[in-house]
Amino acid sequence: MDVIRKIGHNEIVEITTPVLITWNDGKSRLCGDFRALTNYTKADRYPIPMIIHALDKLAKVKCITKMDCMKGFHQNGAKPKSMKLHIIICHMGIYEYTRMSFGIKNAPAHFQRMMDTIFQDEILEGWLVVYIDEISIYSETWEDHV
């Protein structure tokens, strides 16, 4: 799955600089500094759950399985007109994102909506919590869990 693809100078609408984010575990992730684009982006008001609500549910159970969607945002393709706005430049050339990028204003809301839609039955049944790209399955007993 190619997350970015090299493009020519004639395809440029707007360019941003890349930002390398390093996590506590030493892994790093490439993002674009899309703050200028954020000012012109209409906000997606889909609600992100309050983490305290998820923690409250999980604190009351005995068995929890936690899964993280690996590079979750990159699992979503970018629309062609969005790709023209999500362009980064570096010493190796000019690239556009072909997948949803980290650092985009509406990416968390879009991803949360997608996950809530996919897992709506499980969420309503009361054994699964989704917080953006993290899924927690919970139960009172090991027998129910497996």
Highest mean pLDDT (candidates 77-81, 97-101, 134-138): 134-138
| Cβ atoms 134, 69 nearer than 8 A | yes
Residues in the chain: 146
Degrees, nearest 5: CA angle 77-113-70: 55
Task: Name the pTM for this structure.
Answer: 0.80
Nearest to 130 by CA among 67, 45, 60: 67
Architecture of domain 4-41+49-145: Roll (3.10)
Give the pLDDT score at 34.
85
Give the pLDDT score at 13.
59
Question: How far is 92 from 85, CA to CA, in rounded Å?
Answer: 19
